[in-house]
A and B are shown apart, each in its own frame.
Chain A
Amino acid sequence: MELKRVVVTGLGALTPLGNTVSAYWDGLVNGVSGAAPITHFDASKFKTQFACEVKGFDPHDFMDRKEARKVDPFVQYAIASTDEAVKDAELQFDQLDTNRIGVIWGSGIGGLKTFLDEVATYAKGDGTPRFNPFFIPKMLVDIAPGHISMRHGLRGPNFSAVSACASSTNAMIDAFNYIRMGMADIIITGGSEATVNEAGIGGFNAMHALSTRNDDPTTASRPFDKDRDGFVSGEGSGAIILESLEHALARGAKIYAEVAGGGMSADAYHITASHPEGLGAKLAMSKAIADAKFNYTDIDYINVHGTSTPVGDISETKAIIDLFGEQAYRLNISSTKSMTGHLLGAAGAIEAIASILSVKNDIVPPTINHFNDDPQIDNNLNFTFNTAQRRVVNAALSNTFGFGGHNASIIVKKYHA
């Protein structure tokens, strides 16, 4: 079977750095931190009291009060970013075969806030169950693609991919595969997450996964720095319109980049810790390179998972050196989580957008907050510390790794006819 080429024809983003793709990209290239004290709830009793929240978002800009009330924030975010992407791609659904347009969406957890509120209400009562009838359909992780399909009347493949912090990369790879196999013309993909709430912060705090640098939130996410002390929770959404090249050309769509390949693996090692030698990470990256029919020298930029945890940053670095050899020192590496925080199931989506725009604009966004080298990390690598760098980026690889040991890597490259 001849596989179709797949291109990116639209983008949407709702992030801690800005509520549109252009605001997000401006924040990235200018090295802005999205971290600030938590406003969504009273965090005064929590070990971590800051996060990278979405700012100034009003769901009523996108849906009426009744609709907004019936969906969890992770769905509100999904709707906002997919609206932007649909508009950006100039999709006129009434002129397209909507049976061949799908939605494959990632979220690590889904409606955590809804779950928390409903169960808390139950726990406060006398044991009589008084759950809201919208409890289950608000919480389900797959309800996001469901709502997106209903909003636009899209009857193609529709489901969620769930692999914790790799979720939206898995979603994008699925979308890529369905389109190149000819099973859909267009798929709206990406992911959303809204876990800056008592359960999310409390749960990750209990694991000692989060930075507790409460006195200086904007420098807390510092991947590869000697004094990194955990990740910073983020929230938001990224939407990507993937389309077969022939379909995009037929409707005269603008093309941001081409999807070159995807790779997936498991560590088969531990529920939360990454394999110390980065075995699973290496496997996912090498499969993506093979899928793209690339040599290692074809990659100019790696948007790393790089969460700013003491252990994870080391194993990912080892994996890159092991796999790329000399090229590891020639390419640029950056962790945009230094600015956005960690959006969990939406991380892959917004980081793919960063990679796509890097390929399109020939700019590598930085890893901010580098103060001191970590002797356990090879600092001859170019981590793009503190300021963005201009360079030709013909192809970029984006890594995401999730609790459970899931690894997913996707490669985008410049589109040439």
Chain B
Amino acid sequence: MSDIASRVKAIIVEKLGVDENEVTPEASFTNDLGADSLDTVELIMEFEKEFNVAIPDDQAENISTVGQAISYLEKNVSN
């Protein structure tokens, strides 16, 4: 697992209070991990803080699964 993927999963486990095993690439924040709309906004903000990036709202709308978050960050985080 990439460094980005493990950090993303750690944030999701912490913020959504879910078990690490549930945080699979296909898992949807709202349908599988019990997030509501405010949780999802908070997750995006945590990703921005953790990786020091700004995720525009129109891009954030397309991030609804664990895998989508990891792949967006892998493309947009420089280091």
Contact = CB atoms under 8 A, between A and B. Distances in A.
Contact of B16 (A66, A130, A132, A134): A66
Interface in B19-54: 38-39, 41-42, 45, 49
A132 B17 contact: no
A65 B34 CA distance: 14
Contact of B42 (A64, A65, A134): A134
Contacts of B41: 133
Nearest to B41: A133
Contacts of B39: 133
Interface residues of A, number: 10
Given A130-B45, A132-B45, A137 B16 contact: no
A65 B16 CA distance: 9
Nearest to A64: B17
Contact of A137 (B15, B38, B45, B49): B38
Nearest to B54: A128
Contact of A133 (B16, B17, B42, B49): B42
Interface in A93-152: 130, 132-134, 137
A403 to B, nearest CB: 32
Contacts of A64: 17
Contacts of B42: 132-134
Task: Identify the interface centre among A66, A69, A130, A132: most chain B CB within 10 Å of its CB.
Answer: A66
A132 B41 CA distance: 8
Contacts of A132: 42, 45
Interface residues of B, number: 9
A110 B17 CA distance: 25
A137 B49 CA distance: 22
Contacts of B49: 130
Given A65-B17, A66-B16, A66-B17, A134 B45 contact: no
Q: Which of A64, A67, A69 neighbours the largest number of chain B CB atoms within 10 Å of its CB?
A: A69
B38 A134 contact: yes
Nearest to B35: A66
A32 to B, nearest CB: 37
Contacts of A66: 15-17
A122 to B, nearest CB: 13
Contacts of A67: 17
Interface in A58-100: 64-67, 69
A64 B15 CA distance: 12
Contacts of A133: 38-39, 41-42, 45
A134 B43 CA distance: 12
A64 to B, nearest CB: 6
Nearest to A134: B38
Contacts of A137: 38
Interface in A169-188: none
A136 to B, nearest CB: 10
B66 to A, nearest CB: 17
Nearest to B46: A132
A195 B17 CA distance: 27
B64 to A, nearest CB: 16
A69 B42 CA distance: 12
Interface string A31-64: 0000000000000000000000000000000001
B61 to A, nearest CB: 15
Contacts of A69: 15, 17
A65 B17 CA distance: 6
Nearest to B16: A66
Nearest to A132: B42
A67 B42 CA distance: 14
Contacts of B16: 66
A311 to B, nearest CB: 45
A130 B47 CA distance: 13
Contacts of A130: 45, 49
Interface of B: 15-17, 38-39, 41-42, 45, 49
Interface of A: 64-67, 69, 130, 132-134, 137
Given A66-B15, A66-B17, 18 more contacts: A64-B17, A65-B17, A66-B16, A67-B17, A69-B15, A69-B17, A130-B45, A130-B49, A132-B42, A132-B45, A133-B38, A133-B39, A133-B41, A133-B42, A133-B45, A134-B38, A134-B42, A137-B38
20 contacts: A64-B17, A65-B17, A66-B15, A66-B16, A66-B17, A67-B17, A69-B15, A69-B17, A130-B45, A130-B49, A132-B42, A132-B45, A133-B38, A133-B39, A133-B41, A133-B42, A133-B45, A134-B38, A134-B42, A137-B38
